[in-house]
Amino acid sequence: MFLSKKEKKLNQEYLRNGFVIHNIENIKSLDQIRDIVINIIKKNLPNLKNEKSEKILNNIHNFVESKKLNNFRLEIINKINSNQNFRKNYFEISKNLIETIVGNELAMQLRVGLSVQLPKDSSSLLSVHADTWTGVSPYESVVWLPLVNCYKTKSMYILPAYKAFKISKIFKEKNIRSSEDIYKKIKKDVVWLKVNYGQVVIFDHSLPHGNVINNEKETRWSMNCRFKSIFTPYAEKKIGEYYEPITLRAASKRGITYKYPDEK
């Protein structure tokens, strides 16, 4: 493989662990993403207009009730995804990492997701799962971006790739009836991701992952978006419906539109 030592090292890390955690390449883009979110929050909660961004996000549970959280979150999602620069900034935060791991002709998820998990709140749980179990293509990586420092139960867990062989064995057991049963089997093997603001995670969504009740004192804010090489299988989530090409190159554009000459 004609990869540099740096590229080989990054690929090996991803293949062994199923994820990489790296510092953001473009911190300006990250700050712009967080500023967009903060401005939306301040418009909804004017009493927070003089508070610092980090304090607002970490302590939003003091201002938004659990029963109103989902509507609050959906409003933010809709507004950030309607911002013309938002998805471009999201790509820019880890462009080189994505291109090294996924490829340089990319399709990007049309809408970036947002998770807001209040302390002690059970309404935002994502039980153990792998996206491929529900028909999603394995030719994809998730870019997971924290807007606050994430640690312990304020973060997410993943079963590392070097432990993934256990899943096939677990699925064959007759007493496995729920995702909770699966989690109990892998609980001691999962890795809890410690990711600070200013860092990003790229992970393989075919590996089991999820979260539990946030038992820390602060609220978790994280974003997620899938990227894949344009010319890889799409499974249930199709290009144009769920994905949009973002870095299609000239030779590919020519190839797609090429027609053989008509023969007489």
Q: Give mean pLDDT, residues 4-10.
A: 96
Q: Give the mean model confidence (pLDDT) for residues 132-136.
A: 91
Give 145-192 pLDDT, tens digit per residue: 999 999 999 999 999 999 999 898 898 887 888 899 999 999 999 999
The separation between CA 213 and the C-alpha centre of its own chain, rounded to angstroms, equals 19
End-to-end CA distance of the chain: 44
Q: Using an 8 Å Cβ cutoff, are 24 and 198 in contact? A: yes
| Tens digits of residue pLDDT in 55-64 | 999 999 999 9
For 211-249, the pLDDT digits (tens) are 999 999 999 999 999 999 999 999 888 988 999 999 999
For the chain, how many structural domains are there in total? Answer: 1
User: In this structure, is residue 12 part of a structural domain?
Assistant: yes
Asked if residue 161 is part of any domain, the answer here is: yes
Ranges 83-87, 96-100, 148-152, 193-197: which has the least confidence: 83-87
Is residue 133 included in any domain, yes or no? Answer: yes
Q: Is pLDDT above 70 for 139?
A: yes
Give alpha helix (H) positions in the chain.
Answer: 5-17, 27-44, 53-58, 66-81, 86-92, 95-101, 165-171, 179-186, 250-257
* Token representation of residue 55: 């304090």
6 φ, ψ to 5°? -65, -45
Q: How far apart are CA 84 and CA 148, in angstroms?
A: 23
What percent of the chain lies above the pLDDT cut of 90? 83
State the pTM of this model.
Answer: 0.94
Which residue is associated with the tokens 């200013």?
A: 198
CATH number for the domain including 142? 2.60.120.620
Domain for residue 64, yes or no?
Answer: yes
Q: Is residue 111 part of a domain?
A: yes
The range of the structural domain enclosing residue 199 comes to 5-248
Res. 264 pLDDT band, cuts 50 70 90: low
**Assigned domain for 264 exists:** no
CA separation, residue 73 to residues 7, 67, 135, 244 (Å): 37, 11, 26, 24
Do the domain assignments include residue 258? no
Inside any domain, residue 259: no
